[in-house]
């Protein structure tokens, strides 16, 4: 019998660079690295750590902001939460 670890497969889906949009539709990159770290070039740049939550990806940034990347009915999306509120925006794989 062959057993497949679905967590490994789920991780692989999210690894790499993603194009994200902020609430004003400005584009930036989020990079999901294999070692559990994430980086972004948004603003002055930021680092964080990620984990898989129910097949989706949660990033906790050093600033305290949280991004939740998921596949919804409109494709890949990003829910961004901080002290000031939250918003959802589009997300697509970067070809870089």
Kindly report, residue by residue over 28-82, the tens digit of the pLDDT. Answer: 999 999 999 999 999 889 999 999 999 999 999 999 999 999 998 889 999 999 9
Chain centroid offset of residue 32 CA: 7
pLDDT in the model for residue 74: 87
In a domain, 80, yes or no: yes
Which residue range(s) make up the domain with 30? 6-93
Domain count, the chain: 1
CA distance 52 to 43: 25
> Tell me, what CATH number does 30's domain have?
2.40.128.640
What are the tens digits of pLDDT across the range 8-20?
555 789 999 999 9
More reliable by pLDDT, 95 or 64: 64
Residue whose token pair is 């967590």: 7
In a domain, 1, yes or no: no
CA distance 8 to 96: 23
CA distance 44 to 65: 14
80 near 65, Cβ under 8 Å? yes
């Amino acid at each position: 019998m062959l057993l497949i670890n679905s967590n490994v497969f789920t991780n692989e889906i999210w690894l790499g660079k993603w194009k994200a949009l902020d609430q004003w539709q400005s584009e930036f990159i989020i990079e999901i690295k294999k070692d559990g770290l994430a980086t972004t070039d948004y603003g002055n740049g930021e680092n964080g750590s990620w984990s898989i939550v129910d097949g989706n990806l949660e990033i906790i940034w050093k600033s305290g902001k949280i991004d939740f990347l998921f596949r919804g009915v409109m494709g890949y999306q990003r829910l961004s939460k901080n002290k000031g509120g939250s918003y959802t925006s589009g997300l697509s794989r970067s070809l870089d």
